[in-house]
Structure 1
Amino acid sequence: MEKTHHKRSNRTGIEENILAILESTEAKDTRDTNDDRIAFIEAVRAASFIPENGTAPTYKMHKARFPRVHVSKSSSTDSHELIIFNEDWSPFVLSSETVCRERQAAGGNSIGPLDYSGFTLLIQELDEVVNGTNLQAIDTKYLRNMLLLQYLVNVFEGDLLPQTSNWNLLRESLLNMLLGSRRINYKVLMKDCLSILSGLCQVLAGINNHHECSENSVTKPPEDCDPALAFALLDAEKSTCVAIQKLLTMIMELDKSKKNADMLGHTTRADGVRTPLMEIIVDALNYESDIVSPFLQVFSEPKWKLEIIVQYFSKYITKASQSVGTVKAFDYIVRTRRSNGPVDDATFDGILKYFSNSINLKNFLKKISTEIVQLLLAHAFQAHLSISSQYIEGDVDSKENVGNSSLVQICKDVICIFKSLSAIDENIEILPIAKEALFAAATILAMSNS
């Protein structure tokens, strides 16, 4: 009892000193002072929550912490208002040397904020269960991990949204610091995310034995699993699909902001160099053809879905063109190109123009199967239609990577390409999703002629 009282007295003394320091800096409102203040309070957070015998701060200390804020412009009143985040404590701890040792000593089960290696472990554990290498783990821990991942992704999103595309702010975001941490294997982490997304294909589709998804790609709870848990797992798996997709989208947006900042000379050595997620996805789809269909079915964000497919095509059109000497292919798909990287300015209508030439299409099919080509074209056309509708509604930015061809011309090119595929391969089986795309294209053309 005396020991508890002594501990409480020590905490009270520490808090009084901290509050005194904060109050003494109230008159100073410089950027350096604010940075020091926030760093100091973050240290208090770590001291309060990370040790096994740590104690939560009192309500008085809780109120003294400076919340994250951003200025939002109201479209109706043309005024600005201050938005305050309700998240008081970060779920991540960044100064993690001591924390990592403590967590490892506790078998990785210590209570408190995650370090970034803990986030990697979370993704790995989910991948093992989703893809059937650890089916015995389908229990409440699996459910807990999915809910934790969804929460962390929401934290990343809330940390990014108010900072728009300003790289000076984005470089300090939780997500960017995670991706740049030396404690994680960035490429492995991204491939695990793709594996989870593809593995949960049937769950998101809500259909068993769907023609586009592998029957073994969905986790199935044991027969003796509690019905309530089985129902909760199904709903959590669907939400996890959405969370992983959101995470990948945020990373690609972050890569784009960094690329733009680099072109303007706003990056430094401290920003480091990492492979853009777009390239990792394209390579994964090329080397693991089995995940092409489930990935495209689950990944539904039209802007980035179309960009992924366009980059996939442009990369391997380059290879096919070089192998047969048809350098003119570049005239169709690109306006500018880096000397040491992928095509920068490829567009969907440019890809279609290239494939409208039956010789180009035949040469390309030496590299990629007709089934993959059908899947990519059909999903790209669907994404294009979605983006076109957004553009009509006023989302100007959404027309990026679409090109300047009219919708009618796009539909004509899609139909032409599938006719060429049938002529090249008389035994071709048109996939259901391709039939849907052809039906949509034919309907649009019929409506335009009426």
Structure 2
Amino acid sequence: MENPNRARIEDDMLLTMFDPFDASKDATQDTIDERLAFLDAVHASSIGLECGKPPSSKILGAVFHMLRTEKSLQLIVASYKLLVDLEKHFPRAYLSGKDDSLSSSNSPPKLVVAEEAWSPLIIGLDNAAGVGGASDKQSGGPLDPSSFHLLIEELAKTLADSNIKATSMKYLQSLLLFQYLVIVLEGDFLPRNATMNWSLQRESLLNMLLGSRKMNYKSLMKYCMEVICLLCQLLENDLSKNVEVEKSSESDTGDIALSLALLEVLKNTRASIEKLLVMIMALDNSKKKADIEGNTSRSDGPRTPLVDIILDELAYCKDNIPLFLKAFSEPKWKLEIVVQYLWKYITKPSARTRRSNGVNEDTTFDGALKCFSNNTGTKSIIKKIGADVVQLLLAHGFQELNNCGFQAQLSILSERNTNDNIGGDRNEGASALVDLCEAFISAFDSLISTDGDLEILSIGKEALFTAATVISIKS
């Protein structure tokens, strides 16, 4: 058993290397060297040892303080990397006995949670005094839900500026801070989600964060949508023109290094915001399933599914549709968004016939393609959302089906068939795939014949070529 006094002494020895200073003043090179030595010592005493243990909350708090308040690029990046390495080396939640359960037992793997693990997020203290956006921001302490909301809001506002000053250390810190928080949320959520147990998913940091009364959930999701679209727009354009490098006669080399670091961090932030959105949609899906099975309670509270918010935001600002579809790359959820957006504007039958009663409407991507089989249906959809948006949705939807692979395509096509007839027969599956490709090409033919001025985009040409190739191979 570890001696608590010895652990306390070791912590005190490490902390003597870390002396908080006035963040408004620039640190000297000696101070920077001392802090780098502190980070190296923390790494060596935990990750570097064969039987190393996670640092104490005081040590982790000191490293987090450096990430949030330092002005040295070297220290900001070093503290971020150390926090990420510690998060991966000492997971706060993981599944135990996974291999054993697969080989010898039918019992599912058990979730192991480090209950006392330090967290950069303070959640569940809505009524606690002294926990607020302003105070924790000044101290460099853990963030509460309102501070998390403010962080993403500030990122959106900064990205909306015409120029981003690459020498703004504060902006770089905010980007890295957001990336680290997503890693923490992911490390806690994914093992819980893998259990398919709502009682464990309910207690995830992500679910508690989104359900906090100190944060406006819908507003947060709108800012997330704004961030991912703005990042896509920025990264698609000439970065050298959008990121302003302020050169200084004193430190040209430092400015160039910061500029290069910022560009790389922007790319990683786009991936992080997508991870956050995917986790929230997975959480929504788990909650929906638990609700159907009667495993939810009034304490869970209502929350608008993220897919619905995304659809509303894209409908409100159609200019963001190409940006979002380009930035968001997760095949399953991207296809879901495309399909639901199409069916949002596809004209539904005004009345049911006796023959159609009791028959489920085919609200799949395949079913959406069939709505373009005649000019009347095509005209109706084009009138509502425009021909360019339609071809973008169709091309991205088909592309995601293709990215899922052949077997996944057959699975998606057969979801509406309870007997799984399509997936069970290779010939029927190949035939269904050819039918899908032919329906896709037919939809584009209908678009072109309906709108004579339509110019096929590059992604549309690629999708049409893929469909034609599949038909030639499978026929």
TM-score, normalization: structure 2? 0.69
CA–CA distance in structure 2, aligned partners of residues 198 and 401 of structure 1? 33
Is 1:192 the counterpart of 2:223 in the alignment?
yes
Which of residues 454, 469, 474 is equivalent to 1:428? Answer: 454
Is 1:221 the counterpart of 2:244 in the alignment?
yes
Name the stretch that deviates more: 369-378 or 126-135.
Answer: 126-135
SS of the residue aligned with 1:88?
Answer: coil
Equivalent pairs, count: 372
CA–CA distance in structure 2, aligned partners of residues 354 and 181 of structure 1? 42
Superposed CA deviations along residues 115-141 of structure 1, whole A, max 9, x for unmatched, are: 111111110111112221784586111
Residues 82 and 170 of structure 1, relative CA distance in 2, 3 Å threshold: closer
**Structure 1 residue aligned with 2:202:** 171
**Structure 2 residue aligned with 1:391:** 408
Superposed CA deviations along residues 184-242 of structure 1, whole A, max 9, x for unmatched, are: 111110011111111111455xx536xxxxx99x9523443811111111111111111
Superposed CA deviations along residues 7-50 of structure 1, whole A, max 9, x for unmatched, are: x99x99xxxxxxxxxxxxxxxxxxxxxxxxxxxxxxx969x969
Is 1:266 the counterpart of 2:283 in the alignment?
no
Is 1:74 the counterpart of 2:96 in the alignment?
no
Deviation at 1:104, TM superposition (A): 5.2
Is 1:239 the counterpart of 2:268 in the alignment?
yes
Deviation at 1:100, TM superposition (A): 6.2
Preserved CA contact (<8 Å) 2:93 2:187: no
* 1:25-40 alignment runs, 5 A limit: none
Structure 1 stretches lacking a partner, 5+ long: 1-7, 13-43, 53-64, 210-214, 337-344
Is 1:410 the counterpart of 2:456 in the alignment?
no
CA–CA distance in structure 2, aligned partners of residues 307 and 432 of structure 1? 22
CA–CA distance in structure 2, aligned partners of residues 238 and 364 of structure 1? 35
Identity across matched positions, percent: 45
Residues 249 and 398 of structure 1, relative CA distance in 2, 3 Å threshold: farther
Deviation at 1:357, TM superposition (A): 2.8
SS of the residue aligned with 1:70?
Answer: strand
**Structure 2 residue aligned with 1:276:** 305
CA–CA distance in structure 1, aligned partners of residues 364 and 267 of structure 2? 32
Residues 119 and 424 of structure 1, relative CA distance in 2, 3 Å threshold: same
Deviation at 1:152, TM superposition (A): 1.0
* 1:127-146 alignment runs, 5 A limit: 127-132=156-161, 135=164, 139-146=168-175
Is 1:310 the counterpart of 2:335 in the alignment?
no
Measured on the aligned residues, the alpha-carbon RMSD in Å equals 3.8
CA–CA distance in structure 2, aligned partners of residues 203 and 100 of structure 1? 40
The residue type equivalent to 1:96 in the other structure is L
SS of the residue aligned with 2:369?
Answer: helix
Preserved CA contact (<8 Å) 2:124 2:208: no
Deviation at 1:433, TM superposition (A): 1.1
Residues 436 and 138 of structure 1, relative CA distance in 2, 3 Å threshold: farther
Structure 2 stretches lacking a partner, 5+ long: 1-7, 13-55, 66-89, 249-254, 423-428
Is 1:92 the counterpart of 2:117 in the alignment?
no
Preserved CA contact (<8 Å) 2:91 2:187: no
Residues 437 and 264 of structure 1, relative CA distance in 2, 3 Å threshold: same
CA–CA distance in structure 2, aligned partners of residues 66 and 138 of structure 1? 34
Superposed CA deviations along residues 340-393 of structure 1, whole A, max 9, x for unmatched, are: xxxxx721111111222332111111211000001000000000111234638x
The residue type equivalent to 1:152 in the other structure is L
The residue type equivalent to 1:361 in the other structure is T
Deviation at 1:107, TM superposition (A): 7.7
Deviation at 1:177, TM superposition (A): 0.6
Residues 208 and 69 of structure 1, relative CA distance in 2, 3 Å threshold: closer
Deviation at 1:70, TM superposition (A): 3.1
**Structure 1 residue aligned with 2:467:** 441
Residues 181 and 445 of structure 1, relative CA distance in 2, 3 Å threshold: same
Preserved CA contact (<8 Å) 1:241 1:298: yes
CA–CA distance in structure 2, aligned partners of residues 126 and 288 of structure 1? 19
SS of the residue aligned with 1:427?
Answer: coil
**Structure 2 residue aligned with 1:368:** 385
Superposed CA deviations along residues 409-438 of structure 1, whole A, max 9, x for unmatched, are: 111011111111111111111111111111
SS of the residue aligned with 2:244?
Answer: coil
CA–CA distance in structure 2, aligned partners of residues 158 and 223 of structure 1? 37
The residue type equivalent to 2:96 in the other structure is V
Residues 396 and 442 of structure 1, relative CA distance in 2, 3 Å threshold: closer
CA–CA distance in structure 2, aligned partners of residues 173 and 92 of structure 1? 12
Preserved CA contact (<8 Å) 2:328 2:334: yes
CA–CA distance in structure 1, aligned partners of residues 133 and 181 of structure 2? 21
CA–CA distance in structure 1, aligned partners of residues 200 and 318 of structure 2? 38
Deviation at 1:316, TM superposition (A): 1.4
Preserved CA contact (<8 Å) 2:124 2:212: no
CA–CA distance in structure 1, aligned partners of residues 390 and 403 of structure 2? 20
Is 1:181 the counterpart of 2:212 in the alignment?
yes
Deviation at 1:308, TM superposition (A): 0.3
Preserved CA contact (<8 Å) 2:167 2:246: no
TM-score, normalization: structure 1? 0.73
Preserved CA contact (<8 Å) 1:203 1:234: no
Superposed CA deviations along residues 287-315 of structure 1, whole A, max 9, x for unmatched, are: 10110001000101110000001011111
CA–CA distance in structure 1, aligned partners of residues 411 and 436 of structure 2? 19
SS of the residue aligned with 1:101?
Answer: coil
**Structure 2 residue aligned with 1:335:** 360
Residues 398 and 269 of structure 1, relative CA distance in 2, 3 Å threshold: farther
